[in-house]
Structure 1
Amino acid sequence: MSLRQSFTSGVVWMSVGIWVEQAFNFIVFAILARLLGVEAFGLLAMAAAFVLFSEFLVRESISDILLTHEELSPDRLNSVFWLLAVLGGVLTALLFLGAGPVAWFYGEALAGDLLVGLSPTVMMIALTAVPVAILRREMLFRVLALRAVVGAVIGGIVGITMALSGYGVWALVGQRLATTATNIVMAWGAVSWRPAFSISRDHIREVLKFGHRIIGLRAAELAAVQSPAVIIGALMGPTQAGFYAIAWRVVEITSFLLITPFRTVAQPAFGAMAREGGEASSLLIDLMRLTGFAAFPAFAGLAVLSEPILVLLFGQKWIPAAPVLSLMSIFGMYLCIEKVQQTFCLAAGQAGRLAALSWVEVLLATGAIAIASPYGLTVVTASFVAVFLIIWPLKFGNLASIAEQSTLTLVQLHFVPLILAVVMAVAVQGVVISLGGWPQVVVLLLGTITGVVIYVLLAFLFQRDRFHLLMLMIRPRAEPHEAGTTPNKIEG
């Protein structure tokens, strides 16, 4: 199978797995939101911010070196595994020790207890990162897709059962632990490699040299999306943190569905193209075209229809989160494009400048949130989003330098889909205004239909190259490309 065909097959499997997983997760999420209420989600978001930060550092960090290096020797695998085991153990211990200070910081004793309850997932994920990297490198995405779906189902059953049994916010902890444990069993069951104590100092040094840059990037990436929950919880209380958490969760799921299949498959594909002497920038441009084509209209529609979506999914008590969701939808557009950019930089082994820019975003966003907190949650969210939009051009410049492309060329890829998405959103907003007083389900249904019809028509008129590219991704050419050649690039 050619690299292009392997890429397409991987995207298909990951798309199916992720969409099924997230569909089930979203149903569970909606049920738990109705059963548990705003404060429970706010408390969990406040505690989970620290756990998610630690999980991110061990999930796709040091193990990413296994996606780019030409040789997977036992010593290299062992070195990565034991470094992650040590890192996971240290982070888990820090979470246990930090439970008291976290409870004091928030003024909520339960936040510290939740931190302790969630902390084992860090070590669990650290011990599974190498098998997952092996599956990604070998492009065995069918296994990863099934793993995600089964984990979501088992975790959802546990969470709902605990919520109905009166466990309150601890149902969310049980859901997370059950999902992670299932993922561990399925990942290790799919690979034949097992760790040993044969490691190499040279490999350790090489992994550490690679790892400190990518850990810095991953830390900045997660700090960017988790620091708002921490600051809002500390300065504005768990209820406001709950409204922010629900809006962010909707944006996170939407972006996950749109971009994760491409991002997950793209990094090993970029690495494989580089090993074969191909030009990875051609695949980068194709992915950026598809990402903007899908992400801009999806989030533009989400921004306009935020209130009926929240009411229908979670109930009337979540209406105050609607303005936050509308603003966070703009961040969702940024997030999808940035994920593709990040994947290319990681595959090229050049994460240093991107990590520095990401930490600038975190520091500026933290300051903006703290300054804006007296003015309400909507102003806080607007300030947060504005910081990322200001720094975004610098990230395009960094990507252009690595991909040896013009910055303007990369930016222009998104002009047309953005304009068409804005036109679509204006039309949908007109429908929402004209239906004032109608049931929310009618507003959502007619608004969605209007948006889809208008965008498809506009895209057919002005973005036919994207349709052609999408068809090529779905139905790749049968002829395998010889090693050392570049897959055909779509012009236009």
Structure 2
Amino acid sequence: MSVGHRFIRGVAWMAAGGWTEQAINFVVFVTMAKLLGPELYGLLSMAAVFIVLAEALVRESVSEYLIAARDPQPEDYNATFWLTAALGLVLALLLWALAGPIAALYGHPIVAGLIRGLSVTVLMIAFTAVPVAILRREFNFRVLSLRAIAGVVVGGATGIAMALAGWGVWSFVGQWIAMIATNVVMAWTAVEWRPGLRLGWPHLRRAGAFGAQVLGLRMAELAVVQMPTLLIGATLGPLATGLYSVSWRLVETLTFLISTPLRMVSQPAFAAVAREGGRAGELLLDIARLTGVVAFPFFVGLAVVAEPALRLFFGTEWLGAAPVLSVLAFLGLYFAIALVQQSFCLAAGRAGAITLLTWANVALGAVLMLGAARWGLVAITAAFVAAHYLLWPLRYRLVARIGGMDAAPLVNCNIVPALATAVMAGAVILVHRALAAAPLGLDLALSILAGIVVFAALTLLLMRDRLSLALSYIRPAAPGGEAA
């Protein structure tokens, strides 16, 4: 099976798993929120922010070395496993030690127990990072998708059962641990590799050096995400922070559903093409052409319908978030394309270059947002998004240099989708205005339908080559024929 075909199958599995996982998560969240109420959920949120940060640092950091490595030896797998386990242990112990001071800062002693109870998940994720990397390297995304779905099912059932039995806030802890434990079991049972003690200093040095660079990248990504909330809270207060947080949560969820399958699958695909002697840059260009057909209408459409969507699903009291959501939608568009470029750099073993660029994003974003604070929430949000777009040309240049290619095709392939999306957005606005007197649900549904029809027609008219490209990847290569 060609790399291209494995890429499409992997994206399909990850997309199906991600959408199913989020749907189940939503049902579980609503059920447990009704059973336990906002106060207990707030206590969990106080503890969860630190757990999520620590989990993110071990989930995809040192283990990324195994995907980029051309021909990893058993010693490389062992070195990566023990380095990741050590990182997880350090972070878990740090959480345990800081739990008391954090709880004192919040003024709720129970938060310390929640942090200590959940800190075990950081170590669990560290122990399963290598099996997950092996599954990604082997394009076994079917297992990864089923693993994610099984985790939310088992975790959700555990949490709801504990809530009904009167465990209170500890029901969230039980849900979390059961979900991660299910993920661990399914990952380890899907791979034959087991850790050993045979390793040497060169293997530790290579895995550690690459892992340190990726760890710096993950820290920069976390800083980028958390920085707007901190600055808005410090300069504009709780109301603006709440409006921004809801908008970001919506964009983050939709970005996860669109970008995560592409990011997770493209990295091993780029590495596989390089190992087979092909040009990973050509695959990057193909993915960029296909991504534009999906990302542009999805996120620009979100920007256009932000106001009626918030009015329908959240109520009029949240309408202040509409312009924020419209601006942040363009950040979702950026991530859909830029995260694939980032995966290209990681697959090429160039984690250091993309890490420096991400930290530059943090610095520029902070300067621009502080300067825009005097003009309010929308201005701060626009400054945050602008920082990413201003540095995007440097990312294009970096990717082109790594791929030994010209940056122009990577940029130009977005022109036609962007124009088609502009026409689509105009059609949606016209339909929405024409249906101003109609029920809001009908108005939103018909506006979205009009956008879909217009963009689909323009795709058939202007982007048939991209449909043919997608079909060439979907169809398996003929026996004895050339791979896609």
Which stretch shifts more, 157-166 or 469-478?
A: 157-166
Q: Find the counterpart in structure 2 of residue 94 from structure 1.
A: 94
- Are the structure 2 counterparts of residues 326 and 216 from structure 1 closer, same or farther at C-alpha, using a change threshold of 3 Å? same
Q: Find the counterpart in structure 1 of residue 277 from structure 2.
A: 277
Give the drift of 1:337.
0.4
Give the drift of 1:63.
0.6
The 1-side partners of 2:31 and 2:374 are apart by 32
AA of the residue aligned to 1:467: L
Which stretch shifts more, 461-470 or 9-18?
A: 9-18
AA of the residue aligned to 1:272: A
The 2-side partners of 1:238 and 1:92 are apart by 31
| Partner SS, residue 288 of structure 1 | helix
Give the drift of 1:473.
2.4
Give the drift of 1:129.
0.2
Give the drift of 1:270.
1.3
AA of the residue aligned to 1:83: L
CA contact (8 A) 1:42 1:238 kept: no
Q: Find the counterpart in structure 2 of residue 298 from structure 1.
A: 298
Q: Find the counterpart in structure 2 of residue 363 from structure 1.
A: 363
- Are the structure 2 counterparts of residues 169 and 293 from structure 1 closer, same or farther at C-alpha, using a change threshold of 3 Å? farther
Structure 2 matches for 1:288-437, cutoff 5 A?
288-314=288-314, 318-373=318-373, 375-436=375-436
Give the drift of 1:23.
2.7
Q: Find the counterpart in structure 1 of residue 138 from structure 2.
A: 138
- Are the structure 2 counterparts of residues 67 and 481 from structure 1 closer, same or farther at C-alpha, using a change threshold of 3 Å? farther
Which stretch shifts more, 383-392 or 339-348?
A: 383-392
Aligned residue-pair number: 484
Q: Find the counterpart in structure 2 of residue 251 from structure 1.
A: 251
Give the drift of 1:307.
3.5
- Are the structure 2 counterparts of residues 284 and 243 from structure 1 closer, same or farther at C-alpha, using a change threshold of 3 Å? same
Q: Find the counterpart in structure 1 of residue 190 from structure 2.
A: 190
Structure 1 stretches of 5 or more lacking a match? none
Give the drift of 1:224.
1.3
| Partner SS, residue 128 of structure 1 | helix
Question: Are 1:69 and 2:69 matched, yes or no?
Answer: yes
| Partner SS, residue 130 of structure 1 | helix
CA contact (8 A) 1:125 1:184 kept: yes
Structure 2 matches for 1:140-155, cutoff 5 A?
140-155=140-155
**Residue deviations 1:421-474, cap 9 Å, x none?**
122122212333333354332222112101101111112221111111122222
Q: CA RMSD in A?
A: 3.1
Give the drift of 1:267.
1.4
- Are the structure 2 counterparts of residues 283 and 190 from structure 1 closer, same or farther at C-alpha, using a change threshold of 3 Å? same
- Are the structure 2 counterparts of residues 305 and 177 from structure 1 closer, same or farther at C-alpha, using a change threshold of 3 Å? farther
Instruction: State the TM-score, normalizing by the size of structure 2.
Output: 0.89
- Are the structure 2 counterparts of residues 26 and 326 from structure 1 closer, same or farther at C-alpha, using a change threshold of 3 Å? farther
The 1-side partners of 2:169 and 2:457 are apart by 45
**Residue deviations 1:58-107, cap 9 Å, x none?**
11111111113243433221111110111111122223334455567778
The 2-side partners of 1:53 and 1:279 are apart by 35
CA contact (8 A) 2:2 2:476 kept: no
Give the drift of 1:14.
2.2
CA contact (8 A) 2:36 2:168 kept: yes
Instruction: State the TM-score, normalizing by the size of structure 1.
Output: 0.88
Which stretch shifts more, 175-184 or 125-134?
A: 175-184
CA contact (8 A) 2:159 2:174 kept: yes
**Residue deviations 1:225-268, cap 9 Å, x none?**
23333444555566654443332222222222223223222211
The 1-side partners of 2:30 and 2:466 are apart by 34
Structure 2 stretches of 5 or more lacking a match? none
- Are the structure 2 counterparts of residues 167 and 320 from structure 1 closer, same or farther at C-alpha, using a change threshold of 3 Å? farther
CA contact (8 A) 1:49 1:229 kept: no
CA contact (8 A) 1:42 1:240 kept: no
- Taking every aligned residue pair, what percent have the same amino acid on both sides? 49
The 2-side partners of 1:162 and 1:246 are apart by 28
Structure 2 matches for 1:148-167, cutoff 5 A?
148-159=148-159
Which stretch shifts more, 65-74 or 364-373?
A: 364-373
CA contact (8 A) 1:45 1:241 kept: no
| Partner SS, residue 127 of structure 1 | helix
The 1-side partners of 2:390 and 2:339 are apart by 17
CA contact (8 A) 1:302 1:329 kept: yes
The 1-side partners of 2:203 and 2:424 are apart by 52
The 2-side partners of 1:127 and 1:452 are apart by 44
Give the drift of 1:419.
2.0
AA of the residue aligned to 2:86: V
The 2-side partners of 1:419 and 1:430 are apart by 17
CA contact (8 A) 1:53 1:223 kept: no
- Are the structure 2 counterparts of residues 168 and 391 from structure 1 closer, same or farther at C-alpha, using a change threshold of 3 Å? farther
The 2-side partners of 1:172 and 1:320 are apart by 31
The 2-side partners of 1:411 and 1:167 are apart by 54
Which stretch shifts more, 205-214 or 329-338?
A: 205-214
Question: Are 1:6 and 2:6 matched, yes or no?
Answer: yes
The 2-side partners of 1:240 and 1:159 are apart by 32
The 2-side partners of 1:46 and 1:365 are apart by 26
The 2-side partners of 1:457 and 1:102 are apart by 55
Q: Find the counterpart in structure 2 of residue 444 from structure 1.
A: 444
The 1-side partners of 2:286 and 2:444 are apart by 32
| Partner SS, residue 470 of structure 1 | helix
- Are the structure 2 counterparts of residues 208 and 280 from structure 1 closer, same or farther at C-alpha, using a change threshold of 3 Å? same
Give the drift of 1:154.
2.6
CA contact (8 A) 2:247 2:321 kept: yes
- Are the structure 2 counterparts of residues 38 and 407 from structure 1 closer, same or farther at C-alpha, using a change threshold of 3 Å? farther
**Residue deviations 1:386-406, cap 9 Å, x none?**
211111111111111111222
The 2-side partners of 1:112 and 1:380 are apart by 34
- Are the structure 2 counterparts of residues 371 and 273 from structure 1 closer, same or farther at C-alpha, using a change threshold of 3 Å? same
CA contact (8 A) 2:259 2:335 kept: no
- Are the structure 2 counterparts of residues 109 and 285 from structure 1 closer, same or farther at C-alpha, using a change threshold of 3 Å? farther
The 1-side partners of 2:14 and 2:196 are apart by 31
CA contact (8 A) 2:155 2:179 kept: yes
Which stretch shifts more, 218-227 or 294-303?
A: 218-227
| Partner SS, residue 193 of structure 1 | coil
CA contact (8 A) 1:30 1:314 kept: no
Structure 2 matches for 1:32-71, cutoff 5 A?
48-71=48-71
Give the drift of 1:349.
0.6
- Are the structure 2 counterparts of residues 307 and 46 from structure 1 closer, same or farther at C-alpha, using a change threshold of 3 Å? farther
The 1-side partners of 2:111 and 2:324 are apart by 24
AA of the residue aligned to 1:123: L
The 2-side partners of 1:110 and 1:379 are apart by 38
The 1-side partners of 2:149 and 2:188 are apart by 16
CA contact (8 A) 2:5 2:474 kept: no
**Residue deviations 1:95-147, cap 9 Å, x none?**
33344555677788777666555433322211110010111112211111110
Give the drift of 1:13.
2.2
Which stretch shifts more, 309-318 or 132-141?
A: 309-318
